[in-house]
Every structure is written in C-alpha cells, then in structure tokens.
Amino acid sequence: MLGKVLVVLLVAGLAWAFPALLPPPPKICGSPGGPTFTEPRIKLRDGRHLAYKEHGVPKDTAKYKVIYAHSFGSTRYESAIIPLETLEELGVYVVSFDRPGYGESDPHPKRTIQTTALDMEELADQLGLGPKFYVMGFSMGGHSVWGCLKYIPDRLAGAALVAPVVNYWWPGFPANLSKEGYNLQLLQDQWALRVAHYAPWLVYWWNTQKWFPYNSVIAGKAKLSPPDLEVASGIAKHASESQKLKEYAVKQGVFESLHRDMMVGFGKWDFDPMDLKNPFPNGEDSVHLWHGDQDWVVPVILQRYIAERLPWIHYHELPNVGHLVMHDPAMKEVIWKTFLTGKKEQIVHS
C-alpha cells in the first residue's frame, strides 16, 4: 500500500511540476495580441525580423561603419554608444540592433552563437554597409563578436570586445583557472550557470521560482565592485528611464531574451575562442579587448589568460574599473576612439 501511495504522489508531483518547467509562448511583436513595433526592422532570410537603430553620420559618408551588440537584458538603445557629436567628429556610423528575442527582434528558438553572427552579416548587407564593417560587443554582446571572428572573419574591418562575458566551460581554459574564476561568482550564480549548461530545460523554472535565489543579474542584485557601485549611482538618477528600457527589453517574454541568452552563452559552443586564428595576419586591422581589473561580474583572471593565448588581440586592462565600463561616459569615449582610430586616448572625467 505504501508503495502505491508513493507512486501516486510521484505522478501527482510530476503532473504539477511539468507545466511549471514550460515557459509561456513568446508575445511576438506584430502578432495578434502581441506588442507593436516602433522602429525599423529588416526581414531576414528565414522570415524573422531584426529591429535596429542607426546613430551618427550617414553611412554613405561614414569613415567607420560599426555594428554594435548589446549586453544582457538590454537593447539597441543601450547607452554604451558615444554621443552624436563624438560620432560626427570621428565620422562614425553605428547600427545597434536588438539581439533575437530582445526588444522588437523576433525570437529565435534555435539561436546559437553562429546564427547571431550571421544575423549581423545579413543586417550589414541589407543596410548596404559594404564588404567590410566593424563590430563591437559589450558584456554578453561579446559572444556575438566572438561569433563574428569565427564565422565571418573576412567581413570584418575590426572587432572590439568590452568586458566580454566568458563561458567557464570553454575547453581552452585550464581546469584550475576556470574553477577559480567560477568560484568567484555568487553561489546563486554558480547554480544558475550550472543549470544553463547542464540542464537548459530547467532554466525558465530556475529563474522564475521563489524558493531560493536565482541569477543575481535577473534578480537585480548583481555583485558589483566599488567602481561599479559609483557608476550605478549615476544610472540610478535616471531610474524611471532605466526601468522602462528593462521592461522594453523583455516585452516579448523573459524566456526568449534573458533565459535564451543564458542557455546559448553558457551552453556548449561549436568552437573554442582560444582556438581562433588572427583574422588580420597582415596587421591591416585589429581586434581589441577591454576589461576592468575591478570587474566582479566577469573575473579579470580569465581575460588575462585569453590575452596570453591570443597575443594578436590588443588587450587593455583598465585599473580601478568594473564591469559597467560602457556606462561611464569618459571611459566609453576613450574605448570607441582607441578602437577606431588606433590612437591611445587619455581618460578625462568631467
């Protein structure tokens, strides 16, 4: 009798739990009952739409044409892009885009590092950016840049990775170093990353349940260093605008935006970035990586190792700088100018 009772309880438990594991379908922009779209979008070869925003000088007269990939939980409106006057001074055209599932870009249930790189290439072609263009990615957007270096290196005029998120399961990392970096994360983030890597089918439930802490960034409780707290205090002055942008980022649902990012970014990749070859062997263009030594979100020790393994990357370690480097007006201006002109700029805080 006890065995039968246990079986009934198990079946009942599974029947209760299974629906909780399944994310709701996304509310696709422009679909019946879905949110509207407000900005230009291109239609990709597979029928999906990609929303974008243009900044700076007209592309026909631009000296530099850049595709920008935003960070986790953000959109094409990310404040990492420098002011218009600086773009005009340098002759820069920038197109930022909502990565699939974010903002007003259609979700891509089969999204990979490769598919986003190919989306960026198709965006460039449909907008007429020419045979070569620059790419820049901040934080989680760095994965898109790694994808471009792997899958479309012949289309690049230059690439910039700014505080790029790492995948602790990249084979090129020594096990002890990867473990050291991983253990620097909050315990709740260690578990969230394990789930994303080993049990992606649990990601939605894990990051929406209320029984125990889930991903700290999603929860709005990221581990920030003192320099980041200072930057965050400036962002807090515009709390109402920031909250609207956060809501806009997930207007189609958290699963195909935030959760898909985690599954793709921390899942198994088709390549190891540390196996990449220099896309500019003749020195005609360059790849840059910036990282703050006070970044408590992405451990700097892992970026140092990447820079050692890939000596063709121009590595810039920023003293007393955290993860939110691209939300610091002075820092982001230096990064953009150095990346595009090749001249090392002086940091001037107002």
Query: For residue 175, with 0-12 CB atoms within 10 Å meaning exposed, 13-18 middle and 19 or more buried, which class applies?
Result: exposed
User: d(Cα 140, Cα 329) in Å, to the nearest integer?
Assistant: 20
Type of residue numbered 109 = P
Transcribe 271-290 into DSSP letters.
S-GGGPPPS-TTSSS-EEEE
Average pLDDT over residues 306-333: 95
Cα–chain-centroid distance for residue 111?
Answer: 13
Average pLDDT, the chain: 91
Closest CA to 145 of 200, 67, 77: 67
Closest CA to 166 of 146, 186, 189, 194: 146
How far apart (Å, rounded) are the C-alpha atoms in residues 164 and 160?
A: 10
> Which pLDDT does position 149 carry in this prediction?
98
Q: How far is CA 23 from CA 26, 48, 103, 111, 207, in A?
A: 8, 20, 18, 16, 11
CATH (one of 3.40.50.2300, 1.10.3720.10, 1.10.287.990, 3.40.50.1820) for 41-341: 3.40.50.1820
Residue 21: how many CB atoms within 10 A of its CB?
12
Amino acid residing at 180: E
Segment 145-169 mean pLDDT: 98
Residue 156 has phi, psi (to 5 degrees) of -95, 135
Q: Which residue has the higher pLDDT, 143 or 20?
A: 143
Q: Encode pLDDT of 225-272 as tens digits.
A: 999 999 998 887 777 888 898 999 999 999 999 999 999 999 999 999
- The pTM is what? 0.92
Task: Give the model's confidence band at 38: pLDDT under 50 very low, under 70 low, under 90 confident, else very high.
Answer: confident
Q: Are strands 133-138 and 156-162 parallel, antiparallel or unpaired?
A: parallel
Query: Which tens digit of pLDDT belongs to each residue from 176-225?
Result: 999 999 999 999 999 999 999 999 999 999 999 888 899 999 999 999 99
| φ, ψ (nearest 5 deg) of residue 287 | -120, 135
Instruction: Give mean pLDDT, residues 134-145.
Output: 98
